Structure 1
Amino acid sequence: MKSNDSEVLNVLILAAGLGTRLRPLTSDVPKPLVPVVDKSILEQQAIKARAIGNVRLHANAHYLADQIVAEGGRLGFEKVWVEPEILGTAGPLKRIYNEGYRGGLLIMNGDAYCGFDLKAFVENAKAAFAAGAQNGAAPGVALLAVDFPKVNTFRVGKDGRLNGVAGRFGLDEGRAATFSGVSYYSDEALARIKDGEFDIREFWKQEIAAGRPPYVDMSQLNATWIDMGSPEGLWDATAARLKELGVDCWDSAALTVDAAKRSIVFAGAEVGEGENIENGIRGKDFCWKI
């Protein structure tokens, strides 16, 4: 049911991806539901979002959508928005706004293991919006940045606003950083997003052109941020989760993890008697070296 209760923060976890880099692991389970030690990324992101306080959880879904819908129900999501045709990175945001949800919208990725202070980010975003309003150039978009030299395409001005994205648009000058996938949009900004399939970077470009460049929060540059959408990333996320839990290994019906051997063995994997798996991820019909 839609709600215009502006005292509740809406949170959208993007979970509509195809998971192609993790096939065949993701042939039968969508990437956001792949277990990372004890919990899927979808569940871990939901827990982190709820730590903010009064939130309303949403997810979008496309590939193996029924599984995301079922898990969203188990986790108490407000709604899982099924996309028969993928709406891009901006379309899902506008869809929620068009259904009457108000109170701002926090975006998180369903394939990133992270250790961000989300409450601090939202507070920083709102403070930046208020400060900008006093100067007559209020941003309605806040983007959380990390320092990841392999990417670092953001160019951030001394005023903390996005100058551009290298190789795409805007000025190629300013401090370099990487978009973490975490962002916050005011209701006013959401109203300006085009309906239908749309790339969110095009919206940022429009906001810059209109004199409302997005605010970039650089306060958590060194926080944990791992894209677990590749075998190497899946291992890195798994190792980080083990460290967070304070254990070196994990054994469950879904998987077995050994930090010392750098190994993950998923249910359904064929393992010979006495076989020792090291530096690899194994599951049904696949074996990856890491």
Structure 2
Amino acid sequence: MTDAVMLFAAGFGTRMGALTQDRPKPLIPVAGKPLIEHAMCFVRDVAPARIVANAHYKADQIVSHFAGTDVKVIVESPDILDTGGGLKAALPLLDAEVVFTMNTDAVWDGPNPLTLLKAAWTNDMQALLLCVPQARTIGHTGKGDIDIVDGGRAVWGTETIYTGVQIIRSDIVSDTPENVFSLKSVWENLETKGQLKAVTYPGRWCDVGRPEGVTLAEAMLRDADV
């Protein structure tokens, strides 16, 4: 099973407006700690051997944040590589046949999403996405992404939202000839073959992609503590 986690922290955070004028989105404080540390709580809980984060916008701040820790930071320069390209560039450091990937712009109320994926993963899988029904999302705008059919096969649809957390085999990323690409292109190929899988998250998930998401996430966490 995977001993490596990739944290996506390279985005520009343009939808956050003034909140990202002086810092990258993963370092925006939510309930007293940076967004990325909400993800790190789950990562530390599964105790992976290797943790890698990418950085691009105001990358020096991400580098400084993890200075003195076991988290390795890859600075994407001069160009940002998108999710697929970012993961491909990080594979030598991740050094695993199967890896977790995790976005750093969400807050969770419920069990560890990485633990849930790990329990659901089987060796015949190529990629396993963690999704949440729209009724348990907070701060998300727009329709869903995925329908889960046939006991776990993922197809494009509207019933659930992709949470930004998955397990994926490294070789299907490393074999992609491009160096700048979205992971969605990898998923599209798997979905066409019936090889894209997904499971449902039982808790609540707050998308902190816009300024109002900070307030919503903090309210969700306060409610969870009651």
TM class by shorter-chain length?
Answer: 0.7 to 0.9
Residue in structure 2 matched with residue 224 of structure 1 by the alignment = 204
Cα displacement string for residues 2-45 of structure 1 (whole angstroms, at most 9, x for unaligned residues): xxxxx761111111111212221211111110111221111121
Residue in structure 2 matched with residue 87 of structure 1 by the alignment = 81
Does the 8 A contact of 2:97 with 2:171 survive in 1? Answer: no
Residue in structure 2 matched with residue 147 of structure 1 by the alignment = 133
Residue in structure 2 matched with residue 27 of structure 1 by the alignment = 21
**Which whole-Å CA distance do the structure 2 matches of 1:242 and 1:194 have between them?**
46
**Which whole-Å CA distance do the structure 1 matches of 2:130 and 2:189 have between them?**
19
Does the 8 A contact of 1:108 with 1:181 survive in 2? Answer: yes
**Which whole-Å CA distance do the structure 2 matches of 1:200 and 1:8 have between them?**
18
Residue in structure 2 matched with residue 276 of structure 1 by the alignment = none
Is 1:238 the equivalent of 2:218? Answer: yes
Question: Larger RCO: Structure 1 or Structure 2 (Cα < 8 Å, ≥ 6 residues apart)?
Answer: 2
Give the counterpart letter for 1:177 in structure 2.
Answer: T
Does the 8 A contact of 2:132 with 2:161 survive in 1? Answer: yes
Does the 8 A contact of 2:134 with 2:159 survive in 1? Answer: no
Structure 1 residue 103: deviation in Å? Answer: 4.5
**Which whole-Å CA distance do the structure 2 matches of 1:99 and 1:179 have between them?**
26
Structure 1 residue 196: deviation in Å? Answer: 0.8
**Which whole-Å CA distance do the structure 1 matches of 2:83 and 2:30 have between them?**
24
Is 1:213 the equivalent of 2:206? Answer: no
Cα displacement string for residues 213-257 of structure 1 (whole angstroms, at most 9, x for unaligned residues): 211012x2x4121111212211111212334556xxxxxxxxxxx
- Could you list the runs of 5+ residues in structure 1 that have no partner in the other structure? 1-6, 131-137, 167-174, 247-290
**Which whole-Å CA distance do the structure 1 matches of 2:194 and 2:51 have between them?**
28
**Which whole-Å CA distance do the structure 1 matches of 2:73 and 2:2 have between them?**
17
Is 1:158 the equivalent of 2:140? Answer: no
Residue in structure 1 matched with residue 139 of structure 2 by the alignment = none
Alpha-carbon RMSD across the aligned residues, in angstroms, is: 2.2
Give the counterpart letter for 2:191 in structure 1.
Answer: I
**Which whole-Å CA distance do the structure 2 matches of 1:55 and 1:88 have between them?**
24
Give the counterpart letter for 2:23 in structure 1.
Answer: V
For 1:240-255, what aligned pairs fall within 5 Å after superposition?
A: 240-244=220-224
- Aligned CA distance change for structure 1 residues 71 and 100 (closer, same or farther; 3 Å): closer
Residue in structure 2 matched with residue 177 of structure 1 by the alignment = 160
Give the counterpart letter for 2:219 in structure 1.
Answer: A
- Could you list the runs of 5+ residues in structure 2 that have no partner in the other structure? 136-141
Question: Please, which moves more after superposition, 65-74 or 181-190?
Answer: 181-190
Residue in structure 1 matched with residue 117 of structure 2 by the alignment = 121
Structure 1 residue 57: deviation in Å? Answer: 1.6
Does the 8 A contact of 1:94 with 1:195 survive in 2? Answer: no
- Aligned CA distance change for structure 1 residues 55 and 244 (closer, same or farther; 3 Å): farther
% identical aligned pairs: 29
TM-score of the pair, normalised by structure 1: 0.68
Q: Give secondary structure in 2 for the equivalent of 1:216.
A: strand
**Which whole-Å CA distance do the structure 2 matches of 1:98 and 1:181 have between them?**
22
Does the 8 A contact of 1:141 with 1:189 survive in 2? Answer: no
Question: Please, which moves more after superposition, 151-160 or 19-28?
Answer: 151-160
- Aligned CA distance change for structure 1 residues 233 and 8 (closer, same or farther; 3 Å): same
TM-score of the pair, normalised by structure 2: 0.86
Is 1:189 the equivalent of 2:175? Answer: no
Does the 8 A contact of 1:94 with 1:194 survive in 2? Answer: no
Structure 1 residue 77: deviation in Å? Answer: 3.7
Cα displacement string for residues 173-200 of structure 1 (whole angstroms, at most 9, x for unaligned residues): xx82111111111234333334411011
**Which whole-Å CA distance do the structure 2 matches of 1:100 and 1:77 have between them?**
12
